[in-house]
Structure 1
Amino acid sequence: MSQSAEILKHQFSQSLGLPWTDILPASRLTDILAEESISYRNRVYTPIVTLWAMLYQALSADKSLRNTVKCITTWLTAAGLQPPSSDTGAYSKARGRLPESLLQRLIPETANHIEQSIPQEHHWCNRTVKVYDGTTVLMADSAANQGEYPQHGNQAPGCGFPIARLVVFFLLNHRGQWSQPALPPWSMSEIVISRLLYEDLEVDDVAIADQAYGSYVALALIQQQGADGVLRKHHARHTDFRKGRKNGIGDHQVQWQKPTRCPAHMSAMEFAEIPKTLTVREVSLRLSRRGFRDQFIIVVTTLLDAQRYSAKQLTRLYGWRWQAAEVNLRHLKTTLKMEMLTAKTPEMVRKDIWSHLLGYNLLRSLMEQAAPWAEYDRSRLSLQGARQHFNQMLVLLATATQAIRQRLYAHLLENIATDLLPVRPHRLEPRVVKRRPKPFPRMRQPRCVLKANLAA
């Protein structure tokens, strides 16, 4: 058991762990286990082996437990050891034993280390930009999942899936590296959840989000952390560029007044700490798309220096928001297939989500290492391509000698850097579906009722 666990740990660290050699070496994982007071018996699926196996599972096209166990038995056989049983029970129990806090802790730790590796000149105006956005995740329709993450209220009982809301901020400088996720039920507002994450902003950060966030309270909470906000102005707030201190056409500074009513999600004490006025800058940005009329939007920001943060710079920044937020959310849910999770309990659902976020960060760190080969044109590096190249190389990396492993890894980075996305400026696709759905009716009753009707 002990020898198998050590060999598996070594193989995983030399394959899956190669992009994180400096971030998460075995010694660092051991220290984290000690800090979390995690102890374990002598078995194949130690916490470190289980962690790497869950990452492998998140990055695989086949996410079944059976596929992951087959990978482990194959690697042990290649090492000349007697493989464990191919039954998934031991691995399933090991996943259940692995503390959720360990996975949660690793997400910001990996994100912060990767962020520090990015050259300062690659940051927007030498500032770290964090983009806020949210999405929803479906999960298996079990009683436990329904209890913590109820299905949508418009669906009949037994005819929908439990749904959770995932809200994150991620680092724009790396085009979608995840950090500090929150996972409440879908009924909790995305705006309320994001305000809980403002506490993780650091001094001199820049927070960017869409118009749902563009309120007085959001800007005040961001500014309390010593950070700045660039938010699309809420549609209900009127703007008159004839007033205030003018910086140019469609660019002025005004004072916003604190709302008279305390939001439902804040206590009276928290609301009292917010300043009574805020000096903000409202800027009209022109967004151009081929085949469409130019669109003008208004962003509100606490970046008051119009020379350093010009309207052109803000337009460039907000133009990146779509790529960073919407496209990378789609990568997480579609490319990594996290849109529908099969776990039967809320705890395992959360562990699966944290594993996918860790896997996403791992791919992004791999792409960052390949960025110099592509002259740091990160926007053209393909996450799907990186995942495919990486998965093809894992078995060879795990079983090769040190010299061969170095050549394989250099070849992997070169492949990722040369497998660039084509230049597709202003690509347009209609939002239509060509394939016709099957002519089956929608489920209107629970499955057990429908089965009983068939048996009757």
Structure 2
Amino acid sequence: MPHITKKTVLHQIRQFKNSIFQFSHLPFSDILSTDALDLIIEHSESSRDRIFTPLVTLKAFIFQVLSTDGSCRQAVNHVLSERLYEGKLANSIQTGAYCKARQKLPQKQLKQAVESSGQALHQQAHKSWLWKGHNTLLTDGTTVLMPDTQENQIDYPQQSNQKPGLGFPIARIVGLISLSVGSVASYAMGAYQGKGSGETSLFSQVIGVIAENDILLADRYYCTWAIIALIMQQNSHILVQNHAQRKPDFRRGKKLGAKDHLIEWEKTKRKPGWMTQSDYDALPNKIVFREFSVKGRVYVTTLIDAKKYHKQELDELYTQRWIVELDFRSLKTHMKMEMLRCKSPDMVRKEIAVYLLAYNLIRASIARAAKVKKQIPRKISFMTTVQIFNEGILSLIVLSEKGLKYAIDGLLNAIASIPIGQQKRKPEPRAVKRRPKSYPLLKKPRNKAREAINS
């Protein structure tokens, strides 16, 4: 945006960083870097709007996805509150200008901001948060729904067993999430069904993010020759449960212990659909990996040193794979990403990117509090941090440098003061007392139902 001066841009970036608790005296002080914010400003479409600049719009968008209401009106009201705190003129609370400004944000650069912030937080994890010196990533797939518009249906068609007008467009997302700090290091999204839309196809788009010496925990769906070979090719590691169709035979291979051995797996003749033939041909004809059993559960791993990586320890590590389900629950249920709001595919992709960016910023605040207070990030309440984050944004705007340091220290103390998993409650029935309102299900497209009422 060439009409904005460099001094103004730097001021906006500094304000943005202050609002997300990113200060130089704190750990993880540059998770969302100046370069990433510069790229978002640079690639935003030009606008004469002096209120909804790219960073003001992005901050309002982040607040919107973190808020309990989740509406554009609440985001605009938040901008109004910020301007009044700063002694500026009030903006209109009509949402039109904000919605147009959101459309001007660059989707590619938003995704890059998600991945750069998530990877930076993952790579800077404190050594005490690692497993035997290894940083660990979790992967899995999930789905999200979006408004039933013609544009969304073209890019993300509803499930084929649903009648037209009665379902919702649906997208599949596969994410790489850090076990130690919970940040989203990378993600890929596509239609729910059709060629190239499966979990492993989407996973192939993010596999290159797994760094050397990192461990990937995944479910048995990822126990394929191609995935294991690619992981080994980039000097990373994987721990997965054996695929149900592969029957282990512990009489074969090099024995490492009871039901623990090294085996050789030959390349399959048929390549997976998500790989090019040249990439598949470049992989070795055989790979050697470890297979072991603990309490009837059979695992496959590239961590072949049985003395350094005892199979009982690996079994305990794998029990943490289910944490990825809690992370998706935080996004979809607590942050309400399960049903998106945007009505075009381009805005849907931006909305998902902003959800994941906001999620990473919350995880960064948790990591800061954990590092300062010598705690484990995964043992600090996510939703408490969201609430403190939302309330803290406004209070940080008008404070001086000394006041900022005092306030942020108090906010980090508050974040670290609410651990999870410590509550002791009596068993409760899995039932609700409040009855749902007795509205009938919509059994015909809404426009036809509307015509029937008016006829």
Q: Name the TM-score, length of structure 1 as normaliser.
A: 0.90
Q: Does residue 32 of structure 2 align to residue 24 of structure 1?
A: yes
Unaligned runs of 5+ in 2: none
In structure 2, what is the equivalent of residue 451 of structure 1?
A: 450
Q: Mean alpha-carbon deviation: is it higher for 183-192 or for 24-33?
A: 24-33
Q: Deviations over 1:404-447 (max 9, x none)?
A: 22111111111111111143699988766665544443322101
Between Structure 1 and Structure 2, how many residues are aligned? Answer: 443
Q: Does residue 121 of structure 2 align to residue 114 of structure 1?
A: yes
Out of 290, 297, 312, the residue aligned to residue 281 of structure 1 is 290
Could you tell me which amino acid in structure 1 is paired with residue 192 of structure 2?
W
Please tell me whether the aligned partners of residues 36 and 113 of structure 2 are also in contact (alpha carbons under 8 angstroms): no
In structure 1, what is the equivalent of residue 98 of structure 2?
A: 91
Q: Does residue 131 of structure 2 align to residue 124 of structure 1?
A: yes
Q: Name the TM-score, length of structure 2 as normaliser.
A: 0.90
Alpha carbons of structure 1 residues 256 and 434: separation in structure 2 relative to 1, 3 Å: farther
Secondary structure of residue in 1 paired with 2:141: strand
Please tell me whether the aligned partners of residues 16 and 56 of structure 1 are also in contact (alpha carbons under 8 angstroms): no
Secondary structure of residue in 2 paired with 1:18: coil
Note the C-alpha offset of 1:350.
Answer: 0.9
CA distance in 2, matches of 1:220, 1:300: 12
Please tell me whether the aligned partners of residues 164 and 185 of structure 1 are also in contact (alpha carbons under 8 angstroms): yes
In structure 1, what is the equivalent of residue 59 of structure 2?
A: 52
Task: Map residues 322-361 of structure 1 onto 2, 5 A cutoff.
Answer: 322-323=322-323, 325-361=324-360
Q: Does residue 192 of structure 2 align to residue 186 of structure 1?
A: yes
Identity %: 35
Q: Deviations over 1:6-45 (max 9, x none)?
A: 78765543223536742335576236644x5865546222
Please tell me whether the aligned partners of residues 257 and 276 of structure 1 are also in contact (alpha carbons under 8 angstroms): yes
Alpha carbons of structure 1 residues 38 and 141: separation in structure 2 relative to 1, 3 Å: closer
Secondary structure of residue in 2 paired with 1:151: coil
Q: Does residue 357 of structure 2 align to residue 319 of structure 1?
A: no
Q: Does residue 186 of structure 2 align to residue 177 of structure 1?
A: no
Note the C-alpha offset of 1:400.
Answer: 2.3
Q: Does residue 299 of structure 2 align to residue 299 of structure 1?
A: yes
Q: Deviations over 1:291-326 (max 9, x none)?
A: xxxxx3211011111111111221122011112x11
In structure 1, what is the equivalent of residue 230 of structure 2?
A: 221
CA distance in 2, matches of 1:351, 1:427: 42
Out of 234, 242, 248, the residue aligned to residue 251 of structure 2 is 242
Secondary structure of residue in 1 paired with 2:249: coil
Task: Map residues 99-110 of structure 1 onto 2, 5 A cutoff.
Answer: 99-110=106-117
Please tell me whether the aligned partners of residues 2 and 44 of structure 1 are also in contact (alpha carbons under 8 angstroms): no
CA distance in 2, matches of 1:248, 1:235: 22
Note the C-alpha offset of 1:154.
Answer: 0.9
Q: Deviations over 1:142-181 (max 9, x none)?
A: 111111000111110000110000111111121x210211
Could you tell me which amino acid in structure 2 is paired with residue 93 of structure 1?
K
Unaligned runs of 5+ in 1: 287-295
CA distance in 2, matches of 1:30, 1:148: 30
RMSD of equivalent CA atoms: 2.6
Please tell me whether the aligned partners of residues 21 and 365 of structure 2 are also in contact (alpha carbons under 8 angstroms): no
CA distance in 2, matches of 1:430, 1:236: 37
CA distance in 2, matches of 1:310, 1:435: 50
Note the C-alpha offset of 1:75.
Answer: 1.7
Note the C-alpha offset of 1:362.
Answer: 0.4
Q: Does residue 210 of structure 2 align to residue 211 of structure 1?
A: no
Alpha carbons of structure 1 residues 38 and 124: separation in structure 2 relative to 1, 3 Å: farther
In structure 2, what is the equivalent of residue 14 of structure 1?
A: 18
Task: Map residues 236-275 of structure 1 onto 2, 5 A cutoff.
Answer: 236-275=245-284
